[in-house]
Amino acid sequence: METDFKRIYNFIPSKREDINYGTLCIKGWKGLRYVKHNSRLKRPLIKDEKGNFKEADWDTAVYTAISSLMEILGKYGPDSLAFQASAKCTNEENYLMQKLARQVFHTNNVDHCARSCHASTIEGLITSFGSGAMTTSIRDIDNAELYFVIGSNTTEQHPVIGSRIINNRMKGKTLIVADPRKIKLAEMADIYLRHYPGTDLALLNSMAYVIIDKKLYDREFIEKRTENFEEFSRIIENYDPDVASRITGVEPEYIERAAVLYATKKSITFYAMGITQHTQGTENVQAIANLALLTGNVGRSGTGVAPLRGHNNVQGSSDMGALCDFLPGYRRVYDENGRKIFEEAWNCELPAKPGLSLTEMFEYALEGKIKAMYIMGENPVLSEPESEKIIKSLENLEFLAVQDIFMTETAEYADVIFPSQSFAEKLGTFTNTERRIQLIKPFLNPPGEAKSDWEIIQMIANSAGYSWNYNDASQIMDEISRLVPQYSSVNYKCLEMTGGLQWPVRECHGTEILHAERFTRGSGRFNPSEWKKPIEFWDQEYPFILTTGRVYYQFHTGVMTRKVYLLEREAPEPYVEINPEDAKNMGIKNNENIRIETRHGELCVKARITDMVPRGILFMPFHYIESPANAVTNSNLDPRAKIPELKVTGARIGRCQ
């Protein structure tokens, strides 16, 4: 970004070969202008009795917040409070947020939006490999021979990685795509598996069946480096392609061909929300890991499992333990030894019971068990399932504090709003999808009195009687590097010199490929599971499956991208995709408003007739407040990762008045 601290002049793509090699997507070229938008919050806001927001000074706002929080803490106990960190904030800020919750307010009720995108990745990959992160690097993508993309619309959601896949495909490498929607990559794939939503596990298990059946597995790798293979092969026996074909709707022959190719080449598997946002999300992730273990496609160059992270720092915020069940560095809260490290460092006692997950926080608030919430840079009204319930639970709170750069749909319900700084205005680090910790430096003046999120958190902690004294973000990183093993020895000097390091870091050297000699957890573990039908599926009453996703031009709940004219021009309104035959049978015309009804709500939205979606499936982007897709999605949770099943909701179509 080219600036003079007052104005942005232009955006220039860096030519660094290890990340974006001189390319940007449209959001890189145009999208970042939001930081200079007029409607940035400039002063703290306090809601008065009439429900109007009044500007206030920092001292008053912090005092209002802390006195309400302390009052509720005293009255109802620590577990009546809930904190939300943010994958858009820096590592340092997320670290302090969970420290605030755990040290100052003695609760594990701290979580963030990784819960609804990659919680199952963390759970799944930790139980399989030991580290919940991409095992390989972006640069290493070029060394693979086969790309297996499942549940990720890579060219739209991760365009820079997607274009690497396209370039390699054009060079003649193999591409296998599994997705209910006929995405751009599917059009150029060698094999396109169009399975039904929610049947990923059956598909992956069946691929494993073929590999075992044809004896294509890597015997040496399995013997030396993995465990639990016997149980795995016993469960997999039930998934021969004919059986799987009846579940998934994919021809057995295709499953076989895909499996054979995957097993015989150096393969990387890419996946994203299509795998994780299911009640069997953890099992899906484990099934992907199983395939990699079975064929030795992990731990060497050109192979691996690549969960694609959506937000700039969703990897880092998870690493920092902004999760209800993990302390920084993925130490489980019920693990006594892990707790002890932090109890000593923070000089306090930590609760051993896992806190409430993101979705549960709102349920508890609805029931009146959560009395106060502190939300940093998140907009759950749009991003969480069953938004009507979310709004009710926010209204039900006695106190809500929000810190954000803009007035959001969520902030409307707040009692106090703190204006915070965007990435362009503060110092800190982000950890990207390939575990690369990168330093960001301020190059714009913040608007008005906006403060960086860590400063605000420190003010809250100190007014609660603690004496945190971080002078700048680098001192927080020093503390992190002492306590989080993956980040050990990370400091700003090192990051500046190298231009970013991939964790685990040892003496200023990063790690490009994880699990090279041994797995983080020792040996790789096969975690087999049986496929279960999603809780909502096609039935008489609800003959469609509604699945949600994103569009290329918008980001998350649109708080940032919808303020950028050109992006908004390209994707201005919500729509629902419907197959031409379904549309014909129901007499629906293109662009006609139709009513989507589910067990959880209903809304009207424009129909877009396209063969992107197969028959019986509807697709909706969730960015838009006008017709928020999450008003109708279900909040059935993966029992382990607590991730909601946003990808499969039973639906029917009605008429709009």
Which residues lie near other proteins (CB under 8 A)? 2, 8-16, 22-26, 28-30, 33, 38, 155-156, 159-160, 162-163, 166-167, 170, 184, 187-188, 499, 552, 565-566, 569-570, 591
Which residues lie closer than 8 Å to 340 by C-beta, 6 or more apart? none
* Shortest distance in whole angstroms from residue 288 CB to other proteins: 25
Q: Of 237 and 573, which CB lies nearer to other proteins in the complex structure?
A: 573
The residue among 14 and 585 lying less far from other proteins, judged by its C-beta, is 14
Q: Give me the numbers of helices (H) and strands (E) for the chain, helices first please.
A: 24, 27
Q: How far is the CB of 8 from other proteins (least distance, A)?
A: 7
Which CB, 33 or 600, lies closer to other proteins? 33
End-to-end CA distance of the chain: 48
Q: Which is nearer to other proteins, 448 or 499 (CB)?
A: 499
Could you give the CA distance from residue 611 to residue 186 in angstroms, rounded to a whole number?
Answer: 13
CB 649 within 8 A of CB 632: yes
Closest approach, Cβ 168 to other proteins, in A, equals 11
Alpha carbon of 34 to those of 164, 250, 314, 325: distances in Å? 27, 43, 20, 34
Least distance in angstroms from the C-beta of 312 to other proteins: 18
Minimum CB separation of residue 426 from other proteins in Å reads 20
Amino acid identity for residue 341 in this structure: I
265: Cβ contacts below 8 Å, ≥ 6 apart:
144, 145, 146, 174
Instruction: Please give the DSSP secondary-structure letter assigned to residue 39.
Output: T
Q: How far is CA 219 from CA 224, 485, 521, 590, in A?
A: 9, 32, 20, 54
CB-wise, 156 or 472, nearer to other proteins? 156
Whose Cβ is closer to other proteins: residue 160's or residue 604's? 160
Residue 194 and residue 80: Cα distance in Å, rounded?
A: 45
Position of tokens 């709102």?
362
Q: What is the DSSP letter of 551?
A: -
The least distance separating other proteins from the CB of residue 412, rounded to whole angstroms, comes to 20
Nearer to other proteins, 33 or 556 (CB): 33
Structure tokens at 111: 């979580």
CA distances from 537 to 278, 645, 651 (A): 12, 12, 9
- Tell me the closest approach of the beta carbon of residue 564 to other proteins, in angstroms: 10
Q: Decide if 374 contacts 619 (C-beta within 8 A).
A: no
Rounded Cα distance, 612 and 622, in Å:
17
Helix, coil or strand: residue 608: strand
Chain center to CA of 307: 10
Count the Cβ atoms, other than its own, within 10 Å of residue 507: 7
Cβ 94 to other proteins shortest distance, Å: 27
Q: Which residue, 585 or 591, is less far from other proteins as judged by CB?
A: 591
Instruction: Provide, rounded to whole angstroms, the least separation between the CB of residue 513 and other proteins.
Output: 23
Give the nearest distance from C-beta 22 to other proteins in angstroms. 6
Using CB atoms within 10 A of its CB, is residue 90 exposed (0-12), middle (13-18) or buried (19+)? buried
Among residues 12 and 352, whose Cβ is nearest to other proteins? 12
Nearer to other proteins, 13 or 252 (CB): 13
Minimum CB distance to other proteins smaller for 163 or for 474: 163
Q: Nearer Cβ to other proteins, position 334 or 565?
A: 565
Q: Which residues pair with 267 in a beta bridge?
A: 146
- Dig out the tokens for 357 from the structure: 């997950």
354 and 334 Cβ atoms separated by less than 8 Å:
yes
Q: How far apart are CA 605 and CA 633, in angstroms?
A: 14
Considering the complex, what minimum distance in angstroms separates the CB of residue 4 from other proteins?
A: 8
Provide, rounded to whole angstroms, the least separation between the CB of residue 3 and other proteins.
11
d(CA 361, CA 354): 12
Give, in order, the Cα–Cα distances in Å from 244 to each of 179, 206, 275: 15, 6, 17
